[in-house]
A and B are shown apart, each in its own frame.
Chain A
């Protein structure tokens, strides 16, 4: 069993709140690992901290505590050039592909610069690399002469992926890479992504709010809510028999395109809105909206790492009861 390529240990990332002196905890002691070639999905709604977690891993945010261990090396122990060299192997795909590409540079120039930063000094070699890179993401060579404005959303996102690949990364963090794209063209980007992670053995963290999408792309899924991990486990198992009431609600929100089915099915509809990260609930963060809430949930914080089941982890005091109670609710009691 090879060592995981990325280990995230107890990451805590905070931001200043709107009230002076207050802080918002965007990521509250998040820990997980990623293995080579694995696609891990990270799901959650607004304010859950998934973007912040992604950015903390890549170095765009600085965690206030915790470690990011890449290939056995604690990144916090490095600095300057050594840190940059290691960081290059962890790449990032932005949600807004357009904003992540310099509007004043052509695609070719953007990729050329990336190659130069990667250390390729020979201009001809850079050119031939660009010519090889673009078809790998399904784009034609003539894209290199265009500006990002001239490309469609799907093409821009594929350029982002090409740029990330220049660095030959071992880890790829993708923050909502297809959320801004039309439904029918998401496949263009998703399939490139799947193919590359298989062929190049890149470990990918796929961040999104669409659980159905994440389920189809990932081998493992992490569910976040208000900065904490609620559930973690194998994708298919989580999808079919989740043991957390929040995940169950997310699953319930996935619609069925058949109107007869959709209009007659019973769904778990949560009451209220996601609490503001500025005033998180006590005990279990989810208890204010939980359909299984008990007295205990208001005071005791459930741990993700309790219980015998080490593969499917759920931060719920009543995790083992969730499947049965969900079934009961949905069958129309």
Chain B
């Protein structure tokens, strides 16, 4: 958590542009529905399929609902969905991966074989399988997606833990007699969580896309709750006459996914996803030079 706070405090450590699309998305997700001019569920059968105008900036859909309001509401739905999926997937993934890395041996083998299987099946198939068995619904979708995503996080978490375990400062903790619980929870888990969080931020775009895909198939977010994928499938029959109704939600989704991908790339290129206070940054640079000298 501390890392996340630092991350938010020093945005200058990463290329600023990459954070903008995601920042906009989050802002919209939080404030959008409040700023929406209309109730996203309010139907007006007298004003269906309207083109963008001054009253409806993005037009209306087949039931006369304001598209702009629906897109803003869908942003929130998306964000909520992504958040829950991440919360569950990260919790399961980070902990299982860390346990595997820490305990090693048979436990490690067992967990990693499950991870292997999990990773070999495409996320969409996993989600479809779960939904197929348990039916549709918001929470089922969230759990299905979490089950699809946790293996990847577990792998990263385990890698982070095994790297840290070899560090002398962990050995030092053993020597002073720190209990394995302390080493695991206070020292290993935070590093694992930090490493995974970094990748997770980039991953969010893929989750958004999968939620939209499921909703498109009618298996995700159910109407009347607005969701981009759902809006696209609703407007699909009218593609020829009213293409904008498909384009606007599609565009919103695209921007969000691309935004997250950009963020992910920026993080990967930066290679030091944990920003350090400037004082330390200067010290590191001069120490590197000193060592070269």
User: What is the interface of chain A, defined by CB distance below 8 A to chain B?
Assistant: 58-60, 84-85, 87-88, 91-92, 94, 96, 99-103, 113-114, 117-118, 147, 149-150, 160, 163-164, 166-167
Contact = CB atoms under 8 A, between A and B. Distances in A.
B171 interface: yes
8 contacts: A59-B174, A60-B175, A88-B176, A94-B171, A99-B167, A101-B169, A117-B182, A118-B177
Interface string B281-293: 0011001000000
B169 A60 contact: no
Contact of A88 (B172, B177, B187): B177
B177 A87 contact: yes
A114 B280 contact: no
A99 B169 contact: yes
Contacts of A167: 176-177
Interface string B162-179: 000001110111111111
Contacts of A103: 169
A150 B176 CA distance: 23
A220 B169 CA distance: 30
Which residue, B169, B176, B179, B287, has most C-beta atoms of chain A within 10 A?
B176
Given A87-B177, A88-B177, A167-B177, A150 B172 contact: no
Q: How large is the interface on B (under 10, 10 to 19, 20 to 34, 35 or more residues)?
A: 10 to 19
Given A60-B174, A60-B175, A117-B177, A149 B168 contact: no
B175 A91 contact: yes
A94 B172 contact: yes
B176 A166 contact: yes
Contacts of A85: 177
B287 A149 contact: yes
Contacts of A164: 176
Contacts of A166: 176
Contacts of B179: 84, 117
A14 B178 CA distance: 26
B167 A117 contact: no
Interface in B146-193: 167-169, 171-179, 182, 186-187
A156 to B, nearest CB: 12
A149 B284 contact: yes
Contact of A96 (B168, B176, B187): B168
Contacts of A84: 177, 179
Given A147-B280, A149-B287, A150-B283, 6 more contacts: A94-B171, A99-B168, A99-B169, A100-B169, A117-B182, A163-B172
Given A102-B187, A147-B280, A59 B175 contact: yes
Contacts of B178: 113, 117
A113 B167 CA distance: 17
B198 to A, nearest CB: 15
